[in-house]
Chains A and B, each alone.
Chain A
Amino acid sequence: MMNRELLGPSLFLALFTLYAVVAWQIPLLPFEEYETVTSATLPKVYAGFGIVVCLLSIGSTLLKPREKTNAGDVLEKSHMLRTFGLLILMVIYSAALEPIGFLISTSAFLLAGFFVMGERRKGILLFASIPVAVVFWFLMTQVLGIYLVPGDLWS
C-alpha cells in the first residue's frame, strides 16, 4: 500500500501535470502572438512550479526514514459510511432543490441527514427538520423578500 505521506504529493503531481497539458493548449489570440505575457503564461508557470514542489515533496518523503502509522489515523468504517451518506444526500438535495422546491427538499434533506447521523429520536427528527425549513422559508420569502424556488414540478 502507498505511504500516506506520498499519496498527497502524488495526487497533486497528477493534477498539476494534467493542468500543464491543458495550459499548453490554451489558444492564443492573433494579437497575443508577439506578447511576452499571454493568457497561458502564468498557468504554465504555476504548473511548472507545482510539479517541482510535488517532486521535492516526494523526494524528501522517500529520503526520510519511514514512520509507523499512528493507530488513531485509521478511519472507522461506520464513520466513513456516514460521511459517504451525507455526501450522497447533498448531491440529491442539490438535484432536487429546483424540481421539487425548497420546502419539501429541505425538510427531507434535514430529516434524512439527522437519520444518517444516527439520530433516532422522533422528536428531534421531526422538530429539527420541518419547522426549521418552514421558518427559514418564511424568513427568506416573507421577511427578507428573497425568492426561493417553489418547485418546477408544481408551478
Chain B
Amino acid sequence: MFDGIMLGLSTVLDFNNLMYVIAGCLVGTFIGMLPGLGPITAIALMIPITYSIGADSGMILMAGVYYGAIFGGSTSSILINAPGVAGTVASSFDGYPLAKQGHAGKALAIAAYSSFIGGTIGAILLMVAAPLLAKVSLSFQSPDYVVLMFLGLTAIAAFSNKGQFLKAMMMTVFGLMLATVGIDPSSGTDRFTFGQPDLLDGISFLLVAMATFALAEALVNVVKPEKKDAKNINDSDTPQIGSTKLSKAEVKEIAPVIGRSSILGFIVGVLPGAGATIASFMAYATERNLAPKGLKEKFGKGSLRGLAAPESANNAACTGSFVPLLTLGIPGSGTTAIMLGALIAYGIQPGPMLMQENPSVFWAVIVSMYFGNIVLLILNLPLIPYFAKVLAMPKSVLTVMILFFSLIGVYLVSFNTFDLFMMVGFAVVALILRLLSFPMAPLLLGFILGDMIERNFRRSMMISDGSLSFLWDRPLTLSIFIISILVLLFPLKDYLMQRREDKANA
C-alpha cells in the first residue's frame, strides 16, 4: 500500500496534474454553485477535455470537479437556499438559517472544514478498503459479476426517491436497451440499427451522458425555472459573508459530529445506489437523535451540528462511492457511472485488475481526492465572496453556453454531425422524462453496464452449459443474488406499509 501511495503522490505532484486538481476544483465549484446543475453535469462537460490529456490526468481532473461541485452545491444551499445538488439539500436545513442570522461566513467555513475532514477520513478509509476489496474481488468470476451488476442496477432503483422505484426500473431497462444498439461484439450481428451506418458502432456514452444530464438539465431550467434561479436572485437575497472564524467551543461541539458522520457517510457511499444524498440525510437524522435535548430543538433553525453532519457525510460518501468503481468496476452512482464510461473510453477496464494493470490511475485517483480536499479548503474558502457573484450571472448567457459546450464537446470527439442530431433527440426525450419525474441516473447506469452484463452473462451461460445454474452453483454468487432479490423487494415493503396506512386512514 505504501508503494501505491508513493506512486499516487508522484503522479499527482506532477505540475500538470496538480494544475488539473486545482482547475477541476474551481470549475466544479463554479458549476456546482449554479442552481440546478450538479456534479454529473460538471463531469460530463469535462469529458471531451479529458480525452486529450490521458487517463491519469483525466481522472484527476474529474475527481477534482466532483469534489468542487459538491462544495459548490453546499455554497448555494447555504447562501440562497437553492441546493445545486441533491446531496447538499440537507445542508440547507441549517446552513441557510445560519446565513440569514448573519453567520454566512461561519456556515461556509463549517461546510468547508466538515467537507475537508469528511473527505480526508473518506480518502484514508478508501486507501485501506480499496486494495483489500480489490484483492478479494480477484477471485470473482463472470457469474459473480453478472449478479453484482444486477445488484448495482436494482440498488440504484431501490434507493431512488420514495414512489420512484418502478420509474427507476423503467429507466434502467431503457438504458440496457440503448446499450444493445449496434453490432453485437460476440456474433457480429447488427441490432436495432435500422440500416443506419452511424449506429453500427453503437451509441456513444458521451452523447448519452451529455444529452441526459448537461443538455436536459439546462433545458429543464428553461422550461420550468426554479423559483430561486440566477435571474431572480438580487443582492438582498445573497447574504453578507461575514467572519469565517469559529470559536473553540464551536469546534469542540462539531468535532465528534464530523467524525461520526464521516464514517457513516463512507459506509453508505460504498453501498451501490445509495450515495451522497442518502448519506447526508442519514447523518442529519442520526445527529438530531443523538443531540442533547436543548440542542435538538436548534436543528432546522441554524444548528452547527445540523450543518456539519450532512457536509462531512456527503463528502465521505463521494469518496466511498469510488470503492465499488475502482475495485469491482461497478459504479454505485450516476457520477461514478460517468467516470466508468470515461475510463472505458480510455481503454482502461476498472475492476480488480485495475490496481495491477494501471496502478498509477488507481492510486492517482485516491491521492488526488486528498489533494482536492486541500485545494477546496485553502483556495475556495477565501474565494467564496467572489464565487458568490457567480450566482448573479445572467441565466440567458449561462444556459446557451452550456448548450454550446455540450454540443461542441460531443462533436470534437466524433466529428460527426449525426451525433449532434441524435443528441438533440435524446435531450428532448430526457426533457420529457424529467418533467414526468423520471430519474436519469438509472438510465446511465443501465447503459454503461449493459455491455458488460451481456458479455459476462454469455460467458457464465457457456461455463454452465447453457443453464442458469451459475446463479446458485457458487455460494458467493448465490449470496449476492439473494441480496439483489431482497433489494428488489425492499420497495415492496414501503408500498405495502403505505397501503396499510391508507386503509387505516380511510
Interface residues of A, Cβ cutoff 8 Å to B: 4, 7-9, 11-12, 15-16, 19, 22-23, 26-29, 32, 35-40, 42-43, 46-47, 49-50, 53-54, 56-57, 60, 65, 75, 79-80, 82-83, 86-87, 90-91, 93-95, 97-98, 106, 109-110, 113-114, 117-119, 124, 128, 132, 136, 140, 144, 146-147
Report the minimal beta-carbon distance from A74 to chain B, rounded to whole angstroms: 10
Q: How many B residues, CB 8 Å from partner?
A: 58
Residues A43 and B166 in contact in the complex (CB < 8 Å), given A83-B222, A83-B223, A97-B417: no
B420 within 8 A of A: yes
Q: A27 vs B403: C-alpha distance in the bound complex, in angstroms?
A: 39
Question: Are A83's CB and B397's CB within 8 A?
Answer: no
Question: Are B400's CB and A117's CB within 8 A?
Answer: yes
Report the minimal beta-carbon distance from A33 to chain B, rounded to whole angstroms: 11
Residues A86 and B404 in contact in the complex (CB < 8 Å), given A27-B189, A49-B173: no
Question: Are A118's CB and B189's CB within 8 A?
Answer: no
B128 within 8 A of A: no
Question: Are B184's CB and A39's CB within 8 A?
Answer: yes
| Number of A-B residue pairs at CB separation under 8 A | 154
Question: Are B404's CB and A87's CB within 8 A?
Answer: no
Q: Which residue of A lies closest to B49 (CB)?
A: A144
Report the minimal beta-carbon distance from A152 to chain B, rounded to whole angstroms: 11
Q: Interface majority SS on B: helix, strand, loop or mixed?
A: helix
B100 within 8 A of A: no
B-chain residues with CB within 8 Å of residue A56 when the two chains form the complex: 166
Q: A47 vs B170: C-alpha distance in the bound complex, in angstroms?
A: 11
Question: Are A36's CB and B461's CB within 8 A?
Answer: yes
Q: A11 vs B167: C-alpha distance in the bound complex, in angstroms?
A: 12
Task: Out of B166, B176, B187, B427, name the residue touching A57 (CB < 8 Å).
Answer: B166
Task: Out of A37, A110, A118, name the residue touching B404 (CB < 8 Å).
Answer: A110
Q: A140 vs B431: C-alpha distance in the bound complex, in angstroms?
A: 30
Task: Out of B52, B191, B403, B411, name the residue touching A97 (CB < 8 Å).
Answer: B411
Task: Out of A46, A57, A117, name the residue touching B399 (CB < 8 Å).
Answer: A117
B195 within 8 A of A: no
Beyond A83-B222, A113-B400, 10 additional pairs, beta carbon < 8 A: A8-B167, A8-B437, A19-B192, A37-B466, A39-B189, A43-B192, A53-B170, A79-B222, A87-B427, A90-B403
Task: Out of B174, B397, B438, name the residue touching A119 (CB < 8 Å).
Answer: B397
Q: Interface majority SS on A: helix, strand, loop or mixed?
A: helix
Report the minimal beta-carbon distance from A137 to chain B, rounded to whole angstroms: 10
Residues A53 and B166 in contact in the complex (CB < 8 Å), given A83-B431, A87-B428, A113-B403: yes
A-chain residues with CB within 8 Å of residue B432 when the two chains form the complex: 11
B-chain residues with CB within 8 Å of residue A26 when the two chains form the complex: 189, 191
Report the minimal beta-carbon distance from A11 to chain B, rounded to whole angstroms: 8
Question: Are A110's CB and B174's CB within 8 A?
Answer: no
Q: Which 10 A-B pairs have the closest CB atoms?
A: A36-B466, A113-B400, A117-B396, A94-B420, A50-B173, A39-B184, A119-B396, A57-B166, A8-B436, A83-B223
Q: Which residue of B lies closest to A91 (CB)?
A: B424
Question: Are B400's CB and A114's CB within 8 A?
Answer: yes
Q: Which residue of B lies closest to A102 (CB)?
A: B408
Q: A57 vs B437: C-alpha distance in the bound complex, in angstroms?
A: 14
Report the minimal beta-carbon distance from A106 to chain B, rounded to whole angstroms: 7
B-chain residues with CB within 8 Å of residue A118 when the two chains form the complex: 396
Question: Are B417's CB and A86's CB within 8 A?
Answer: no
B381 within 8 A of A: no
Task: Out of A9, A27, A47, A94, name the residue touching B424 (CB < 8 Å).
Answer: A94
B-chain residues with CB within 8 Å of residue A91 when the two chains form the complex: 421, 424
A-chain residues with CB within 8 Å of residue B412 when the two chains form the complex: 140, 146
Q: Which residue of B lies closest to A115 (CB)?
A: B396
Contact residues, B389-438 vs A (CB, 8 A) = 394-397, 399-401, 403-404, 407-408, 411-412, 415, 417, 420-421, 424, 427-428, 431-433, 435-438
Q: Which residue of B lies closest to A31 (CB)?
A: B187
> Can you pick out 15 interface pairs between chain A and chain B where the beta carbons lie within 8 Å of each other?
A8-B438, A11-B432, A12-B170, A15-B174, A23-B191, A29-B187, A35-B466, A39-B184, A42-B454, A50-B170, A79-B222, A90-B403, A94-B420, A94-B424, A106-B408
Contact residues, B176-195 vs A (CB, 8 A) = 176-177, 180, 184, 186-189, 191-192
